[in-house]
Amino acid sequence: FQCEALRLMLARAFCGDAAAGEIATHSLASMARGGVYDQLAGGFHRYSVDERWHVPHFEKMAYDNAALLGLYADAFALTGEQSFARIAGEIRTWADEVLGGAAGRGFAASQDADVGLRDDGDYFTWTLDEARAVLDGRQLPLAVEWFALDESGDMHDRPGRNVLHTPKTPEQVAAL
């Protein structure tokens, strides 16, 4: 992430530079819809391992998320756009719940990319069969459209595993 560049763009926007504000808010909105953002638990993974910024390296770092939380809060202050406030809140909730801040014992520095020796990010991805197992007949078609789930998946080395991302707007999904 280029947090300092985005911070500069937001600072310029607060001083009246509309083009800088558009660059920053477009970037932040796109990042939040992509695979580098954990669409279920909140928080951002470290970086993308593909050119689409779709498949992340699944580790989440406290320092990345701290900087991003500030950026999303600032984007909300600049625009009033509720989605920026929601993402900031989800980052904070993730930090509290996963890194330990809510327990009053201090914070961990990161969340590992996997939960076992052979996981390799599977914990953060879904197969279509896994989605079918937890969603009812009404929820499944919406989830398939919203998260772009399919049988082939997104992981070239782990066929069938989907990285949750939201390429369509709620309005586009509702129109289907």
CB–CB of 150/51 below 8 Å? Answer: no
The reported pLDDT for the residue numbered 101 is: 65
pLDDT values of the chain reduced to their tens digit, one per residue, 176 residues: 899 999 999 999 999 999 999 999 999 999 999 999 999 999 999 999 988 888 999 999 999 999 999 999 999 999 999 999 999 999 999 998 899 866 667 788 999 887 777 777 788 999 999 999 999 989 999 999 999 999 999 988 889 999 999 999 888 888 87
Of 11, 4, 169, 2, nearest to 77 (Cα)? 11
The reported pLDDT for the residue numbered 128 is: 95
The 8-class DSSP code of residue 44 comes to B
| Cα distances (angstroms) measured from residue 149 to each of 36, 56, 78, 125 | 16, 16, 33, 10
The reported pLDDT for the residue numbered 102 is: 61
In this structure, the chain runs to a length of 176
Tokens of 118: 């052979």
Distance CA 174, CA 17 (A): 34
Report pTM: 0.91
- pLDDT tens digits for 70-117? 999 999 999 999 999 999 999 999 998 899 866 667 788 999 887 777
The reported pLDDT for the residue numbered 2 is: 92
Tokens of 14: 């607060």
